[in-house]
Protein backbone atom coordinates (compact mmCIF):
# COMPACT_ATOMS: atom_id res chain seq x y z
CA UNK A 1 0.00 0.00 0.00
CA UNK A 2 1.31 3.46 -0.81
CA UNK A 3 2.50 5.29 2.31
CA UNK A 4 0.54 8.42 1.37
CA UNK A 5 -2.72 6.41 1.37
CA UNK A 6 -2.31 4.30 4.53
CA UNK A 7 -4.26 6.60 6.85
CA UNK A 8 -7.10 7.08 4.38
CA UNK A 9 -7.44 3.38 3.49
CA UNK A 10 -7.16 2.14 7.06
CA UNK A 11 -9.77 4.72 8.13
CA UNK A 12 -12.13 3.53 5.37
CA UNK A 13 -11.68 -0.02 6.68
CA UNK A 14 -12.32 1.10 10.25
CA UNK A 15 -8.83 0.08 11.36
CA UNK A 16 -7.20 2.65 13.61
CA UNK A 17 -4.83 0.57 15.71
CA UNK A 18 -2.00 -0.27 13.31
CA UNK A 19 1.66 0.48 12.77
CA UNK A 20 3.82 0.74 9.68
CA UNK A 21 6.52 -1.89 10.00
CA UNK A 22 8.69 -0.91 7.03
CA UNK A 23 8.79 1.37 4.00
CA UNK A 24 10.21 0.36 0.65
CA UNK A 25 10.11 1.88 -2.79
CA UNK A 26 7.52 0.27 -5.07
CA UNK A 27 10.18 -0.38 -7.71
CA UNK A 28 11.83 -2.80 -5.24
CA UNK A 29 8.72 -4.99 -5.46
CA UNK A 30 8.88 -5.30 -9.24
CA UNK A 31 9.28 -8.91 -10.32
CA UNK A 32 8.23 -10.48 -7.00
CA UNK A 33 5.80 -13.36 -7.45
CA UNK A 34 2.51 -13.81 -5.62
CA UNK A 35 -0.27 -16.37 -5.39
CA UNK A 36 -3.45 -15.40 -7.21
CA UNK A 37 -6.19 -14.97 -4.57
CA UNK A 38 -8.81 -16.83 -6.64
CA UNK A 39 -6.91 -19.96 -7.76
CA UNK A 40 -9.66 -22.17 -6.38
CA UNK A 41 -12.47 -20.23 -8.05
CA UNK A 42 -10.58 -19.75 -11.33
CA UNK A 43 -8.29 -22.77 -11.64
CA UNK A 44 -7.17 -21.66 -15.11
CA UNK A 45 -5.02 -19.11 -13.27
CA UNK A 46 -2.74 -22.02 -12.38
CA UNK A 47 -1.65 -21.94 -16.04
CA UNK A 48 -0.27 -18.43 -15.47
CA UNK A 49 1.59 -18.90 -12.18
CA UNK A 50 4.85 -17.63 -13.65
CA UNK A 51 3.01 -14.46 -14.72
CA UNK A 52 1.72 -13.69 -11.22
CA UNK A 53 4.35 -11.13 -10.40
CA UNK A 54 4.48 -7.49 -9.38
CA UNK A 55 4.78 -5.01 -12.23
CA UNK A 56 4.92 -1.23 -12.21
CA UNK A 57 3.24 1.33 -14.41
CA UNK A 58 2.03 4.88 -14.75
CA UNK A 59 -1.58 3.68 -14.45
CA UNK A 60 -1.07 3.24 -10.69
CA UNK A 61 -1.52 6.58 -8.93
CA UNK A 62 -2.21 8.06 -5.50
CA UNK A 63 -5.49 9.54 -6.71
CA UNK A 64 -7.63 6.60 -5.56
CA UNK A 65 -7.40 3.14 -4.04
CA UNK A 66 -4.28 1.90 -2.28
CA UNK A 67 -1.56 2.76 -4.80
CA UNK A 68 -1.44 -0.93 -5.71
CA UNK A 69 -3.69 -2.44 -8.39
CA UNK A 70 -4.36 -5.77 -10.03
CA UNK A 71 -3.64 -5.78 -13.77
CA UNK A 72 -5.73 -8.03 -16.01
CA UNK A 73 -4.81 -7.63 -19.70
CA UNK A 74 -8.09 -9.24 -20.77
CA UNK A 75 -10.12 -6.58 -18.94
CA UNK A 76 -9.65 -3.12 -20.35
CA UNK A 77 -7.44 -0.93 -22.48
CA UNK A 78 -5.00 0.28 -19.78
CA UNK A 79 -4.47 -3.25 -18.48
CA UNK A 80 -4.09 -4.54 -22.03
CA UNK A 81 -1.38 -1.97 -22.82
CA UNK A 82 0.64 -2.58 -19.65
CA UNK A 83 0.19 -6.32 -20.24
CA UNK A 84 1.77 -5.94 -23.68
CA UNK A 85 4.73 -4.12 -22.13
CA UNK A 86 5.30 -7.02 -19.74
CA UNK A 87 4.36 -9.74 -22.25
CA UNK A 88 1.48 -10.95 -20.05
CA UNK A 89 -1.11 -13.43 -21.34
CA UNK A 90 -4.54 -12.07 -22.25
CA UNK A 91 -7.08 -14.06 -20.27
CA UNK A 92 -10.68 -13.26 -19.38
CA UNK A 93 -12.85 -15.73 -17.45
CA UNK A 94 -15.79 -13.30 -17.45
CA UNK A 95 -18.88 -14.30 -19.42
CA UNK A 96 -21.57 -12.21 -21.05
CA UNK A 97 -23.62 -12.01 -17.88
CA UNK A 98 -20.54 -10.80 -15.93
CA UNK A 99 -20.08 -14.15 -14.20
CA UNK A 100 -16.67 -15.67 -13.68
CA UNK A 101 -16.19 -19.07 -15.32
CA UNK A 102 -13.75 -21.63 -14.00
CA UNK A 103 -13.71 -25.14 -15.45
CA UNK A 104 -17.49 -25.38 -15.51
CA UNK A 105 -17.99 -23.52 -12.25
CA UNK A 106 -19.12 -19.97 -12.10
CA UNK A 107 -19.46 -17.32 -9.46
CA UNK A 108 -22.79 -15.63 -10.03
CA UNK A 109 -23.37 -11.95 -9.47
CA UNK A 110 -21.56 -8.74 -10.10
CA UNK A 111 -17.90 -9.52 -10.79
CA UNK A 112 -16.65 -6.31 -9.24
CA UNK A 113 -18.44 -7.02 -5.96
CA UNK A 114 -17.40 -10.68 -5.92
CA UNK A 115 -13.74 -10.05 -6.72
CA UNK A 116 -13.11 -7.40 -4.12
CA UNK A 117 -11.67 -8.77 -0.92
CA UNK A 118 -11.11 -6.77 2.26
CA UNK A 119 -7.77 -8.48 2.90
CA UNK A 120 -4.74 -6.27 3.29
CA UNK A 121 -1.29 -7.43 4.03
CATH 3.60.130.10 is the classification of domain 3-115: no
How far apart, in whole angstroms, are the C-alpha atoms of residue 23 and residue 4? 11
Model confidence pLDDT, tens digit, residues 58-93? 778 888 778 877 787 887 888 888 888 888 888 777
CA distance 71 to 58: 12
The mean pLDDT value of the chain amounts to 77
Q: Which of 41-45, 73-77, 111-115 has the highest mean pLDDT?
A: 73-77
Rounded to an integer, what distance in angstroms lies between the CA atom of residue 50 and that of residue 75? 19
| Residues 90-104 pLDDT 10s | 877 776 666 666 543
Report the distance separating Cα 72 and Cα 82, nearest Å. 9
Q: Is the whole model's pTM more than 0.85, yes or no?
A: no
List the chain domain ranges.
3-115
Q: In terms of C-beta density within 10 A (0-12 exposed, 13-18 middle, 19 or more buried), how is residue 99 classed?
A: middle
Which pLDDT does position 3 carry in this prediction?
A: 92
Amino acid sequence: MAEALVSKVMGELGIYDYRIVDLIDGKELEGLSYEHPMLEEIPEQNNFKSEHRVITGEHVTLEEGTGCVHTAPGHGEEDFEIGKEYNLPIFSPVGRRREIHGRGREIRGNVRKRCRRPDIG
